[in-house]
């Protein structure tokens, strides 16, 4: 299993870091088999897996259940778990208790926190010994304030602020930074400026690594893809085809066949039917 040190080394040597979100046992198992460097149990769970309209409805209990399932599926992969909405904005004491649910109870190797206003918490968790991934740019937990999911840091003052925030994440102890939906030129600047790896999503090719949402990447139950997603598969086509065939087979009495069926000894059949 790769560690935080390996990710720093990968940045230094120019090897891109691959990350994918997963939320359950089979997705984790297949992602580990495919050889990703890092798994994110993202709170995108709420949208792609649980069907909510935003991530703000995801609870710590949800994250613990799903992180544990991912651990069982990918026991040899570095797992980052998202701290869900409003679980790390209170007192240090309550924030730390919440982080420990993911790190200690669920067994995540790191936690991820969104936004520029949580530097104190990044420092607290890191000092405690919990590796932290920061997340800047588009921060979906702020959707109520932002109003829409859109590119961040396009204007000069916004870009300047993002650069400062990114530096502060590193100073506060984050071992990696996720940048979501920012112009590629800004990503390149920040990745050069920081010594910790920058993992991009909708942030261009110059990040030190990339992350995509599992369902988007394999084409599983999603109707609309953001501009930054490349669908590498279309498993939903296969799934619907399989289920349709099953429905037809049952209706037309083609399934189950003899080879899917249990039987009894002749003498018992005779007794039963006389
Ligand atoms: O929850 C998530 O999937 C994420 C990634 C988009 C980085 O935070
Ligand atoms: Na997230």
Dump pLDDT digits (tens) for 50-64: 999 999 999 999 999
pTM above 0.90, yes or no: yes
- Are 213 and 170 members of one domain? yes
User: Per the annotation, does 82 bind a ligand?
Assistant: yes
- Are 57 and 41 members of one domain? yes
Q: What is the pLDDT of residues 127-163, one digit of tens each?
A: 999 999 999 999 999 999 999 999 999 999 999 999 9
- Are 48 and 125 members of one domain? yes
Q: What is the pLDDT of residues 53-98, one digit of tens each?
A: 999 999 999 999 999 999 999 999 999 999 999 999 999 999 999 9
CA–CA distance, 43 with 46 (Å, rounded to integer): 6
Q: How far apart are the CA of 44 and the centre of ligand 1, in A?
A: 6
CA–CA distance, 27 with 24 (Å, rounded to integer): 6
pLDDT of residue 268: 98
- Are 14 and 80 members of one domain? yes
pLDDT of residue 273: 96
How does the average pLDDT of the chain come out, rounded?
98
| First vs last C-alpha separation in the chain | 64
Catalytic residues: 180
- Are 80 and 45 members of one domain? yes
Q: Is 204 left (phi over 0), alpha (psi -120 to 50) or beta?
A: left
- Are 252 and 171 members of one domain? no
pLDDT of residue 28: 98
Answer whether 139 contacts ligand 1 (Cβ < 6 A): no
pLDDT of residue 148: 94
- Are 190 and 262 members of one domain? no
**Nearest ligand 1 atom to alpha carbon 213:** 3
**Nearest ligand 1 atom to alpha carbon 43:** 1
- Are 162 and 265 members of one domain? no
Return the ligand number nearest the Cα of 200.
1
- Are 116 and 220 members of one domain? yes
Q: Whose CA is nearest to atom 5 of ligand 1?
A: 42
Q: How many domains does the chain have?
A: 2
User: Where is the domain boundary, 233, 248, 265?
Assistant: 233
- Are 101 and 200 members of one domain? yes
Answer whether 194 contacts ligand 1 (Cβ < 6 A): no
CB 182 within 8 A of CB 11: no
Strand runs labelled E in the chain: 17-21, 38-41, 78-82, 110-114, 132-137, 176-180, 198-201, 209-212
Domain range spanning residue 243?
A: 238-273
- Are 219 and 87 members of one domain? yes
Mean per-residue pLDDT for 194-201?
98
CATH of the domain at 68: 3.20.20.60
Res 193 pLDDT > 90: yes
Res 223 pLDDT > 90: no
- Are 44 and 143 members of one domain? yes
> pLDDT tier at 234 (50, 70, 90 boundaries)?
very high
Collapsed DSSP state (helix, strand, coil) of residue 120:
helix
| 47 secondary structure, DSSP code | I
């Amino acid at each position: 299993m790769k560690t935080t040190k390996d990710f720093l080394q990968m940045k230094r040597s120019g090897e891109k870091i691959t990350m994918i979100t997963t939320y359950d046992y089979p997705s984790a198992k297949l992602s580990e088999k495919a050889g990703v460097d890092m798994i994110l149990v993202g709170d995108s769970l709420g949208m792609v897996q649980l069907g909510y309209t935003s991530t703000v409805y995801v609870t710590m209990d949800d994250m613990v259940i799903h992180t544990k399932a991912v651990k069982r599926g990918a026991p040899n992969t570095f797992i980052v778990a998202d701290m869900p909405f409003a679980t790390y904005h209170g007192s240090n004491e309550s924030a730390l208790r919440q982080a420990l649910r993911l790190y200690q109870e669920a067994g995540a190797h790191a936690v991820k926190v969104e936004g520029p206003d949580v530097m104190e918490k990044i420092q607290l968790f890191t000092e405690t010994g919990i590796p932290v991934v920061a997340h800047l740019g588009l921060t979906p937990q702020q959707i109520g304030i932002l109003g829409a999911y859109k590119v961040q840091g396009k204007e000069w003052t916004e870009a300047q602020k993002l650069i400062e925030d990114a530096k502060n994440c590193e100073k506060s102890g984050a071992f990696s930074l996720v940048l979501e939906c920012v112009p590629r030129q800004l990503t390149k600047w920040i990745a050069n400026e920081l010594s910790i790896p920058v993992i991009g999503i909708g942030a261009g090719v110059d990040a030190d690594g990339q992350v995509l949402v599992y369902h988007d990447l394999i084409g599983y139950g999603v109707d609309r893809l953001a501009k930054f997603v490349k669908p590498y598969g279309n498993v939903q086509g296969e799934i619907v085809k399989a289920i349709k065939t099953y429905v037809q087979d049952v209706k037309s009495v083609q399934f189950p066949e003899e080879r899917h069926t249990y039987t009894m000894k002749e003498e018992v059949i005779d007794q039963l039917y006389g």
